[in-house]
């Protein structure tokens, strides 16, 4: 059966004095205004803030569980000890220090919180804050996947068991591997490191398989030509076609990773 949710709409309202231990549960605030107001122990669970202007306010131990912020301006406002479980943000201006003081405790909620803020910051063109949110999202994702297959906590063991536990283990291995290669799309340095490892492998194969492995000079010469071999400029006739094909495949993958990082960086601006 469908019945009314009981959500009350409050339009064009303003807070002009400190608020303490009040309850505003399941409200729709339209064009709410608050400037330099202090909120303590206020319950905002399941509220929707639409086009709210809440500047330079202080929120202490407030509950924003399940809240949604749409087209709001929260710049300058601080949130200390507040709860943001399942909260979402859309085209909202909010200082990125919320990522340090407002993240939920459980890793699965933390990654959803950071992901929502990351998308929010991308929408308003705040690249610095988006990068900060991504780092927290990636770390929370890694912790969540690791706990999902290994932790003995009842939540994880009840939710992930049998084949599901094996699947999430595979996801964790994939995540760690991609993080090692290119930081899951966020680290140019790790991608350069991976390319360097490939060059060293090409050097070793050339010196051992097609040179004199007993001579240091052979390794030095192989190191000098390894970039040319990797980029396809040089294709020694002694190399098997299968080996050259493998190098080409790795080169295309690395180039694809690099272009993906560049495109994502430009898209955030």
Tens place of pLDDT for every residue, the chain, 269 residues? Answer: 778 888 999 999 999 999 999 999 999 999 999 999 999 999 999 999 999 999 999 999 999 999 999 999 999 999 999 999 999 999 999 999 999 999 998 899 999 999 999 999 999 989 889 989 999 999 999 999 999 999 888 888 888 888 999 999 999 999 999 999 988 888 889 999 999 999 999 999 999 998 888 888 889 999 999 999 999 999 888 899 999 999 999 999 999 999 988 887 776 55
The Cα-based distances of 155 to 47, 144, 168, 213 in angstroms read: 27, 12, 15, 55
CA distance 121 to 116: 9
Phi, psi of 83 (to 5 degrees): -110, 125
Give 38's strand partners: 58
Phi, psi of 172 (to 5 degrees): -65, -45
Please name the residues in contact with 178: beta carbons below 8 A apart, sequence gap of 6 or more. 184, 185
Phi, psi of 233 (to 5 degrees): -75, -35
The Cα-based distances of 107 to 35, 147, 152, 184 in angstroms read: 33, 9, 15, 18
CA distance 187 to 246: 24
Q: Are 70 and 50 in contact (CB under 8 A)?
A: yes
The model's pTM? 0.82
Q: What's the confidence (pLDDT) of residue 127? A: 86
CA distance 107 to 103: 9
Q: What's the confidence (pLDDT) of residue 170? A: 95
Give 93's strand partners: 73
CA distance 136 to 96: 12
Q: What's the confidence (pLDDT) of residue 269? A: 59
Q: Decide: residue 183, CB within 10 A, 0-12 exposed, 13-18 middle, 19+ buried.
A: buried
DSSP 79: E
CA distance 130 to 173: 26
Give per-residue burial for 49-87: e unless 16+ CB within 10 Å, then b: bbbbbbbebbbeebbbbbbbbeebbbeebbbeebbbbbb
Cα dihedral 74/80/81/87 (nearest 10): 10
């Amino acid at each position: 059966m469908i019945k009314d949710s009981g959500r009350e709409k409050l339009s064009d309202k303003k807070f002009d004095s400190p608020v303490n231990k009040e309850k505003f549960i399941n409200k729709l605030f339209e064009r709410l205004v608050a400037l330099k107001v202090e909120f303590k122990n206020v319950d905002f669970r399941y509220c929707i803030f639409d086009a709210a202007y809440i500047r330079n306010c202080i929120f202490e131990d407030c509950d924003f569980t399940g809240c949604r912020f749409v087209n709001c301006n929260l710049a300058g406002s601080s949130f200390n000890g507040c709860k943001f479980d399942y909260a979402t943000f859309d085209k909202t201006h909010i200082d990125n220090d919320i990522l340090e003081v407002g993240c939920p405790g459980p890793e699965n909620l933390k990654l959803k919180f950071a992901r929502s803020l990351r998308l929010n910051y991308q929408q308003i063109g705040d690249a610095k804050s988006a990068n900060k949110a991504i780092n927290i999202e990636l770390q929370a994702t890694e912790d969540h996947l690791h706990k999902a297959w290994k932790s003995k906590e009842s939540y994880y063991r009840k939710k992930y068991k049998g084949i599901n536990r094996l699947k999430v283990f595979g996801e964790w291995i994939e995540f760690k591997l991609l993080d090692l290669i290119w930081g899951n799309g966020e680290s140019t340095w790790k991608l350069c490191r991976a390319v360097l490892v490939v060059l060293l492998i090409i050097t070793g194969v050339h010196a051992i398989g097609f040179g004199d492995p007993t001579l240091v000079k052979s390794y030095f010469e192989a190191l000098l030509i390894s970039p040319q071999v990797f980029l396809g400029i040089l294709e020694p006739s002694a190399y098997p076609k299968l080996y050259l094909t493998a190098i080409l495949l790795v080169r295309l993958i690395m180039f694809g990773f690099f272009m993906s990082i560049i495109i994502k960086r430009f898209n955030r601006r």
